[in-house]
Amino acid sequence: MRVSGEANGLGVSRPLGEGKPAAASPAALPTGAMAPMEDAVVVSSSAQFFAMAQAQIAGLPDIRQDRVEALKARLDADDYHPDPEAVAEGLLREHSAPLRA
């Protein structure tokens, strides 16, 4: 069923490819008529911050090659002597942390 010619535009057929009609300004609408609804997305400032941080982190390399090269050079020169107690304490602290759900 096709209804055309109604004042509010419901059922008015348009030729293909014509697209949507331009939205009327609220002042141009008849009394009691509602303005067309538009979709909108609102993102909180926290979500924007996390998205920006995630993008910056994604740009970082997984391996800090400069640090690896410096450590290799110290190992080759026999100049790397970490404190065994500090290493053990770090391992215990890292692996004995409470599990988080």
Of 46, 25, 50, nearest to 36 by C-alpha is 25
Has residue 72 got a pLDDT over 70? yes
Question: How far is CA 17 from each of CA 2, 13, 20, 23, rounded to the nearest angstrom?
Answer: 19, 12, 9, 17
Name, of 22-31, 32-41, 90-99, the range with top average pLDDT: 90-99
Q: Where do the structural domains in the chain lie, given as residue ranges?
A: 63-101
E-strand stretches of the chain = none
The tally of CA atoms less than 13 A away on the side-chain side of residue 21 is 12
Query: pTM of the predicted model, to two decimals?
Result: 0.34
Q: What is the mean pLDDT of residues 76-84?
A: 95
- Quick one: pLDDT band at residue 19, thresholds 50, 70, 90? low
Q: What is the mean pLDDT of residues 34-51?
A: 84
How far apart CA 48 and CA 45 sit, in angstroms, is 5
